[in-house]
């Protein structure tokens, strides 16, 4: 195995410490405690796990954490009333509604109800539009984490050929915009792209966010390329158990790539910490303070 393994867990811990130091500074200098409100509808096990992790890490960073748990059959008007209340609450600087929502709820309407200044998931059309136009905006956490991880390998992404596999609003599309902001040359691919292996072989940076276990094979990777694997897939393992794999065939790709993220322990830990970064940035912006040094 020749690739450098990008340790997302260690890098996330380092970034979390920097966030915590900034939280201490703005508490001391401005008597401001950043606050994050997380809304969980229903009891999806994966969502519950994420929410617990977010709550713990928010508190560890010295921020205020507000959890709101609603039943799966909550009326949409009741959920919108809670969001309106959080929009008005001066102690709340970030609002995250955990996705996916139960099918009876309209996700677009719910996201549009969040105050864009508190939209730490970066999904409100206001923030998505600003990001697409190249203006400062709250960006979705996973793409932000991908850029930070990439820049631990390359001081600058300028002029590099980047391939994003996947075009979701949560990862693929915002990642495209963030890479353009870094002056990379970006191709976005998806299930209808022709000759995906050949597109991969031309890329200096490969971001796999397609949700298909080990789809990207080792012989697709350009020698020395950096591979950021966003996928988290459960596949059967021995003894009736399951194991987590990414969208990239890790062992194969690691023999060719220059650097690669593992699954788990790569992009996942960075996503949660980038939520803290966005909450800190939102708190400073709402209070009219300079952008924090993270």
Rg (alpha carbons) of the chain, rounded to whole number: 19
Q: Looking at the DSSP assignment, which residues form a beta bridge with residue 236?
A: 242
For tokens 């971001």, name the residue. Answer: 207
Per DSSP, helices labelled H in the chain are 8-30, 45-60, 76-88, 107-113, 125-132, 141-150, 172-181, 196-201, 250-254, 267-286
Candidates 57, 98, 115, 222; catalytic one: 98
Residue 1: pLDDT over 70: no
- The residue whose two tokens read 């590099």 is 160
Q: Evaluate whether 258 touches 4 at the Cβ level (below 8 Å).
A: yes
The H or E element containing residue 234 is: strand 233-236
Q: What is the pLDDT of residues 160-215, one digit of tens each?
A: 999 999 999 899 999 999 999 999 999 999 888 999 999 999 999 999 999 999 99
Q: Which of 228, 46, 201 is nearest to 143 (CA)?
A: 228
Between CA 187 and CA 255 the distance in angstroms is 24
- Rounded to an integer, the average pLDDT of 79-106 is 96
Which fold does the domain 141-268 belong to in CATH? Rossmann fold (3.40.50)
Peptide bond into 100 cis (omega under 30): yes
The pLDDT, as a whole number, for residue 235 is: 85
For the domain spanning 30-116, the CATH number is 3.40.50.10860
> What pLDDT was estimated at residue 2?
85
* Dist CA 98 CA 139 (whole Å): 16
Q: Which residue has the tokens 């340790």?
A: 7
Catalytic-labelled residue, pool 54, 57, 118, 177: 54
Active-site annotation holds for 54? yes
pTM of the model: 0.93
Report the range of poorest mean pLDDT among 58-67, 192-201, 233-242: 233-242
**Are both 30-116 and 141-268 of the same fold?**
yes
What is the number of other CB atoms lying within 10 angstroms of the CB of residue 251? 10
85-94 residue pLDDT tens: 999 999 999 9
Catalytic residue among 115, 118, 119, 121: 121
pLDDT in tens, 121-154: 999 999 999 999 989 899 999 999 999 999 999 9
| pLDDT at residue 23 in the model | 97
Known active-site residue 76: no
Residues near 181 by beta carbon (within 8 Å), at least 6 away in sequence: 134
Every domain of the chain and the residues it spans: 30-116, 141-268
């Amino acid at each position: 195995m020749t690739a450098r393994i990008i340790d997302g867990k260690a890098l996330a811990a380092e970034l979390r410490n920097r966030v915590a130091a900034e939280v201490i500074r703005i508490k001391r200098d401005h008597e401001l405690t950043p606050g994050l409100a997380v809304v969980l509808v229903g009891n999806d096990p994966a969502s519950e796990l994420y929410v617990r992790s977010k709550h713990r890490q928010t508190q560890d960073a010295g921020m205020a954490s507000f959890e709101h748990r609603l039943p799966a059959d909550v009326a949409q008007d009741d959920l919108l009333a809670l969001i309106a209340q959080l929009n008005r609450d001066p102690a709340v600087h970030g609002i995250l509604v955990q996705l996916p929502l139960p099918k009876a709820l309209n996700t677009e309407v719910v996201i549009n109800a969040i105050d864009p200044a508190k939209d730490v998931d970066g999904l409100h059309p206001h923030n998505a539009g600003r990001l697409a136009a190249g203006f400062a905006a709250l960006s979705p956490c996973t793409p932000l984490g991908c850029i930070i991880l990439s820049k631990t390998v390359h001081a600058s992404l300028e002029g590099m050929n980047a391939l994003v596999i996947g075009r979701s609003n949560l990862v693929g599309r915002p990642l495209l915009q963030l890479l353009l902001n870094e002056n990379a040359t970006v191709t976005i691919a998806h299930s209808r792209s022709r000759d995906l292996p050949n597109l991969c072989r031309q890329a200096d940076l490969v971001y796999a966010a397609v949700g298909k276990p080990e789809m990207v094979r080792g012989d697709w990777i350009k020698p020395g390329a950096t591979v950021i694997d966003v996928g988290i897939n459960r596949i059967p393992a021995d003894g009736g158990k399951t194991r987590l794999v990414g969208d990239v065939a890790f062992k194969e790709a690691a023999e060719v790539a220059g650097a690669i993220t593992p699954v788990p322990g790569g992009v996942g830990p960075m996503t949660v910490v980038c939520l803290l970064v966005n909450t800190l940035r939102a708190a400073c912006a709402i209070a009219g303070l300079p952008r924090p040094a993270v």
